[in-house]
Structure 1
Amino acid sequence: MIALGYPGSPDTLHPVLRERELAPRSRKPLNDFVFEGQWQQAAPDANG
């Protein structure tokens, strides 16, 4: 999936959505959801 278009201005968002858009982002580590062989067994390349 890819996104097409241009980012809009956060100033046009509802205040609740603007706060969410401008908040610092965090990501789950890959080894939390990339598995190989068995469920809950992290793939070797997912540790980085």
Structure 2
Amino acid sequence: MNKLTPNIITLNQFKDKHFGKVGTVSRDELDNDYQFFKKIFLKKVSNK
């Protein structure tokens, strides 16, 4: 019987694979958009 093992990667490994290394345009856009989202989301959550 074949046992499947999960392929676990870190968040940074996922970002590197799908959005490029830190310093590339697509990765910088991803990180900047995430910081913007966090700021807006946390503001809305704290206002409840």
TM over 0.5: no
Higher relative contact order, chain-length normalized (CA < 8 Å, sep 6+): 1
TM-score, normalised to structure 1, is 0.24
The structure where helix makes up a greater share of residues is 2
TM-score (norm: length of structure 2): 0.24
